[in-house]
Structure 1
């Protein structure tokens, strides 16, 4: 037990008396505001006024005293402040007195045969001047419901019970009744009754206490304080209290259980015992909105509740952080917003540090973020980190389990690394949030040092690749000392010093700066320069870039994202020194930017030619059909329509690029020359056939027949090309007109040489004729189908009434008329079809 929730004060003590006078001892207590009423065993009612407390003392002053005529035991009292009534249960009858004068109220006659009474406190919220009173009958199993006003009361309803009632609590329309055998719930409006739990009335007190909001507290079996709502459901864990509980009360967030020798105070939040108030022969407990009273036969104690903020602060100071956090969360609605925020912040700070030194880093991180702690409080705990500015001094008190991280770094470096990892994670989590406002420099400089020291290269580069508040004077020497030169360039870059950044990276690539590890610095420089809007920096390093690698280096021009209009001739002039880069740049202009300038297309074609010729000289070989560049040249010559064919022809005139020459002849419509070059100079039968196939795409049948017949004629001119001619006929029978072929074939050819061609040609001609016949008939069927539909739509005549609208001429009909329906339209006869 680490909590003091209530402070007991003796407010009234009856003078010591002989045993014969014990009949006048205290029996029952009732209070309202500063009014305190005590009922004695001899039927005496005493009215006391609570005086203002002086220091740690509180006293009372007796105001009135009333002796009941019967001098019988007073068993229960209840104040009704709305009517200024004091109800007294004595000798089985309820009598109403004025709560100030203690004079009986003549208009309210006694209610007899009552063993227990209870007031519905929530009833007055709906009807402020009326109180609902519930009484248990002492001689019969029933609960009577009375409506009490200033001058009268009347019984409006009676609820019968199957067992003898012993105790009663009311909330709204729900009655919680403890009988001699068990506890039950009864809704007197709906009539629904629920059996709850049994109890042993011979060994334990039958206690029923209204908690509020439709919830009750019961003294259940096994010495359990059970919470149950109006639906019979327990939504809180039970309290395990000791045997011999005489009475119980709820003062949120605590439950007070009275025993003969003391008062036990439990938390409703964690169900643990929090405080014990020792007493001697206690007999009763009274809980009001202001405080709690406990009394014996001769003494009355006032248990003043300690303010919740004081309780939480005490728990924090004693480092009972779990209890403090739990209590704080449970009483949030009972504190002002400012008080709650202050307590929440202080509690989270202390709890965070306790978890921090225990090594529970995830919980500590969450608490520090929840408590909005100044990040410098954490940074200041670590050795050898950048100095904190503004004369920072920690404002937090040390916790009990504080550990010296400076000593830990020397004695237990493995554990210290865990604390370093926590710091990095915490600062990264709050970086850029409101919690880091005003502390960006301290956070970023600390992260830089942590990442560099722990070789977190990815995290370090990510930190420096974006906007940061690192101080150059502090961080540059540190990065140089740790040979983090690539990161140093990123630091320069993030602070707008682009030239310094590139110079640093260039030195790394050239080997002047040794680094432990880094990404591909050369590619990073290329990417960085391609993103620079200032071309001055690009030209400064362009030669160095392209001398290293033309294929990668050209990206400083191609990856800039500029529009086509911004691409200057200066780039082309510069790239003439670097043929491969020039070729890639021109491909970028033509393929990506879709340039239609003749200059770009012609230059790309001649650049391809130059590349191919360099390859030919290098390998000293004439067969370059597998060359990738040559394939790209052929495709380009076939697809592009913007290059100057004469310039390209001039470039390849004295070269063995026969396929390319054929393509250019074909672009000029000189198909005979093209095929002749492919057959006689390139000596490539397959290239000749590919040329015919490619050129025939989308052309008429006559053109295709003539083109293939031209190739056949070239083959027939040479006696060594008989096999090529036969292969051409056999492989492309559909492309030839049979009659034209028969006219040009030499008479010396045998039938067996062309029998395959003749058979396939006849089959193709027959197939084509049949397909044309089928297509003709299908078209006729479609025509007749549409004609029948048209006839059906125009055949009918319908009658319509006047004032209908002709959908052809737009005029209204002045009299009924027959109209024709044409495709869904109503049309006058005179409008025609």
Structure 2
């Protein structure tokens, strides 16, 4: 059994299924009848009929002796017939069926029939010296041709109806009818013919040296195939029209040799389709493909079990044709059709990559399939001496398109050939990028995924360098949300596109898993793309090298248009300093959270990452990049629990960084120790960040910030000359200082007041007023603002700030107050959440406004008197009504203070009623609680101490005042601020 296979070329494999010994003598002739599944075998004059599957002699068929030759007619549409020529000069014709052998004709000749052949109504025989025909109806024998001794081996082949091909003298093939007449010219055949076959108007002959095809109509030899030592052959008139030739291995005659089988067939249909495509006959090629597809579908319907091999061969060859069509349209620049046919063909990715420059790794050798070679015909691109086996690469194709556009006058804007070539290069790069990212996870590309993914990054860089921003598809994006570390609220509109572009680059690399790092690094170095090189370093795990490249980009030592800027560099450092930083998660998920959420006391950062962050911060600080150092500091998460020593000691001592543990590098104390000797201004801004942004309650940090503010302001005031810029800077810093003095409760106002009184008591009136207020001497504070500075607006702002503080304290004292930590960000007094735990519970604002009214009335002028009256009559200003009544002069007209009197009366009565109601409710609640406690078998007591912390935010329970509400989880014995509770908590 043999069958056709496809492994890039056509081969036939044959398998020995069964072997039996039929006769001790050599087999002279074998013919098969597929319709009834039998073999007819002639050996030593004995004719045997065997079963074709088991090779066993069929007992119900007779065995014939003294047989000279036989001819088996086994056409599918006719009844099988067996013609026997005996050595006894008898010719018999039998009709065959699966179980019987029926004699239908018999004739005796006067000579032995050496060759017999059956036609429709005649039998043609070859004797020792002539050809004769026998009429099956009358039995009349007619001489056809006498050849004598000129033909050593005669043969007779049935042509059509009652015509036979006779091998005559001079190696002529004579076509004669049953009467001996020839209506067609003879054919010149080769000597030593082994077998001959006739199909339609063609004659196929096999000699010991050649296989030839002749045309009966034109009498021409159409094709010759060289053979060697052919001994036998058979021909299939159905299907692919194959000729199977047995050849003997050359050797000595006395040695037995095993024959080899050679299959000769017509040109493969895919090769014919290739010729059509090369000749621009695309319709003919597609029509041929459709016909072959229809043939296979019909075959599958008729023989579903035994046609799988034919279907497999068709699929392989159809993919070849689809791939060739893809390259045809690829070279034409029709990318949509090219992509469609490439997808149908499941093209080897390397066939595409090899046509581009630098996409396959350096040193990698790949030979394109010759089937896909389409040659450019423009001599301006390919010289006549060039190797015709070389494929046409993308640069040559782009140049060809540009030249054709110029020659065809399709260039109305007079664009140069070079510019047109670049445009076509970009189109080819864009097409391949889109195709590769669409199929980077397809099964047909799995084997060469490292080539594909490396080429994706290279193409992305090439497109970016030419001003084209590729669009990433969902197929290549990493799973889950990924927000690049360079995302920043400071990004303006001009840099937004660049940031998104670099974000896509990060997404692209993070979505790949089989990058050829060595080849890609070599390419990136040559293409001057340090940012992408750093991303590959990080993808590979070499984070130190990646950060060093980004540092050089930030410092301006390297240039890369794709680098998003400082925000990216700082964002990576911030992410590395986070306690949850894991290298793998950088490529799958990066969510920007608030710094307090990102960094809690119990978490630990990776030691190697923290060391890297510390090194890069020190580099920025020591190299004079103070703005970058400040940006890094403001981005780093803060943890206050890791104290090395007091900040005072840190500010004066010099500790070697190498002696610090990784957990101590990024603590505020160590950072202050590092930056204070180098840049006091950076130290001041960093302390302000700790206090105002991260709610730092360390009193020594507050005192240090106050000292730095005072030193800076006094130094500026002592300067001889001040420019407009320096005056604006001084004013801005003084405003920050006043805000800090007003809302911070953790510095020492007495010590600071003593320093300012000695140095610049007149120049720093606002600061002195706030410090007096911090000591509780509000009269002195308002006196300075009103009488020394004469700034009534500052007096009102001073009083209003305490009014807002009183209102905030009142809200926090409510048991069921739905507190949200973000809601106080807009309040002036609580902007920094710096409430003192020991501030008095009683409101301060009434006292302040009463003092302000008193001071205004004491000025004894109309302006301040009007202000005092406005304050008295304002419905929203709290006052000490009895005190105010004592301050109003007796000659004041009552109509000027009528609103005040009415409000004072109503407010006093309301306060009295409220006090009685609160007293009654408190008493009732106390009695009810006592009854509940007494009824309980065991009482559960909650112990709250001064340093008890919230289980949610890890801050002290009293951080928002002694009356701030908190929640108590009895089962878990945990305490938490009410505003820290989440919807998921079961209360």
> Smaller-chain TM-score range?
0.3 to 0.5
Between structures 1 and 2, the one with greater strand share? 1
- TM-score normalised by length of structure 2: 0.41
* Structure with higher RCO (Cα < 8 A, 6+ apart): 1
